[in-house]
Every structure is written in C-alpha cells, then in structure tokens.
Homo-oligomer: A and B are copies of this chain.
Amino acid sequence: PIFVITPTFARPVQKAELTRLANVFLLVPNLHWIVVEDSPQKSNLVKNFLHRSGLKYTHLNIETPSDMKLKSKDPHWSKPRGVFQRNEAIGWIRNNFQAGEPGVVYFADDDNSYSIELFQEISETKKVSVFPVGLVGGVMVEKPEVVSGKVAGWSVGWGKDRPFATDMAGFAINLSYLLSHTSAKFASKVKIGYQESEFLKHLIHFEDLEPISVDKVLVWHTRTENPNLNQEKKFLKTNGHSSDQGLEV
C-alpha cells in the first residue's frame, strides 16, 4: 500500500481540508491513510470523519509539546510543524510492518493539493524518490536538477546548498527501505528549511535519489486562508448561541 502520513490540527478549516484529501485518496487504489492529530486526545470530528470516509486508515494523536508549538502570532515557518506527528506515524509503521513487505510512505500535509497521478508515480519508489513541488520556497516550482537520470542539484529559490533542498511534499520512501533504516526520524530542533534534509540524511546518499515525474507538477504547496469570522461574536450576542450550534463545520 501507499502509506500517506498526514499531521493535522483543530482549526475552522480542518474538516474542509480533510474532505479535500479524502476526495483524492478515494481515487487511489490501495492507499492507507495515517492521520495524526496534534492534540492530547483524538477528536470526535476526526474520528467520525475517518469512520465515514470509506478509506482504509489509522488514527493516531500526539500533542506537540507547548514550547515547540506554533503560537498564533508566530510567523508560520518559525517552528517545525507536524514533526511529532510524523514521527508518531513512523513509529506506528515500524511497530506494525517488517522489512520485505511492499509499500511506499509519503508525507501529505493537510493543506496541500494533490493530483491522482502523483500516487501512481510514487508507487514505484525503490529507495527514495524526489519530484517537483509547485508554489513553494518563494518560487513557482522547486525541483531536482537531473543530469543523465541522476539528481545533480536542486532548482530552488533559496537554500540551494541544503543537502536535500526539497519540501516535505517532494519525496517518497519505499516502506522496506524505511524500515531497514531504523534511525530515520524528524528532529524537533533544526535550522529553518533543514527539516527534510535532516530526515533524509539518515536514509540515503544524494546520488542514490530517484528523480521521478521531473517534467510535471503533481503536488502543490497551497495554503488555505484563515477564514474571517468577524461576525461570530455579534451573532452570539444576538442569538445567544454560535452560528454552528448543533452542526459540525
């Protein structure tokens, strides 16, 4: 199967985002969704959502420690996001599968946009595949530079000297390969933009990367606006209850 690991956290757009992910995942054969909530408890919203999704899934949760947690006033890139959750998912995979079993692992944040074709492309990953990601790193597209079928460098707008100048959405890992590299996990303290490099350096040498779909953008690092809820207070005052009383948004 393709194991898709998605960290997620409670906010007004959460269910909308998860709905968009479930839509594309339903079109992918043999996908196993590992959803990891950034919360001390599993929420009913995510629990019920997954239960009714029609997808094969595993529901986990782990709260980001408060000193590591992005505060609402922090710039969004100032703290690593989803790190504890991705590690939790990797731990679950290590506990439940053994090297030799077929599969691919992919990290799919809940706000990105995914094409169906992406999952066909990554499904052939032997060790670690890398591919273009749209709308990330201050440019229209970040991608591996490929010479004679090998990764020769990175076409990026900044941090070209990073060992693996790719976004979280820009690589996939063979399941057995991940399982046989037991030290691979994400670090909670890492230079900004080095999260992926930190992780991948445990796994692979640069020259062994498999560049795939190099002339196509199949995933986009979109971000969803925080909705304007500036009438909600007035609504509460006028009506004595919030607009979403008795109804899950």
A207 within 8 A of B: no
Provide the bound-state CA to CA distance between A97 and B223, in Å.
39
Do B13 and A24 touch (CB < 8 A)? no
Whether, in the assembled complex, A151 has its beta carbon less than 8 Å from a beta carbon of chain B, the answer is no
Expressed in whole angstroms, the Cα–Cα distance for A217 and B45 within the complex equals 13
Given contacts A224-B225, A227-B135, contact A23 B27 (CB under 8 A): yes
- Tell me, in angstroms, the Cα distance from A230 to B17 when the chains sit together: 26
A138 contacts B20, C-beta separation under 8 Å: no
Q: Is the CB of B143 within 8 A of A247?
A: yes
When the two chains form their complex, are residues A228 and B26 in contact, meaning their CB atoms are under 8 A apart? no
Minimum CB–CB distance from A134 to chain B (whole Å) comes to 4
Please, which residues of chain B bring their CB within 8 A of the CB of A27? 23, 26-27
Chain A 79-91, CB-CB to B under 8 Å as 1, else 0, gives: 0000000000000
Interface centre among A132, A134, A143 (most CB of B within 10 A): A134
Q: A247 contacts which of B216, B225, B231, B249 (Cβ < 8 Å)?
A: B216
Q: How far is the CA of A54 from the CA of B189 in the complex (A)?
A: 44
- State in angstroms the CA–CA spacing of A220 and B227 once bound together: 10
Determine if B243 and A135 form an interchain contact, defined as CB atoms under 8 angstroms apart.
no
Q: State how many copies of this chain the complex holds.
A: 2
Partner among B158, B223, B228, B234 whose Cβ is within 8 Å of the Cβ of A227: B223
Partner of A249, one of B23, B135, B155, B235: B135
For the complex, is A142 an interface residue (Cβ under 8 Å from B)?
yes
Q: C-beta contact mask, A19-59 vs B, less than 8 Å → 1, else 0?
A: 11001101100000000000000000000000000000000
Bound state CA distance, A13 and B141, in angstroms? 12
Say how far A49's CB is from chain B's closest CB, in angstroms.
10
A235 touches B141 (CB 8 A): no
- A101: chain B residues at CB < 8 Å are none
B-contacting residues of A (Cβ < 8 Å)?
A: 12-13, 15-17, 19-20, 23-24, 26-27, 113-116, 132, 134-143, 155-158, 215-217, 220-225, 227-232, 234-235, 239, 242-244, 246-249
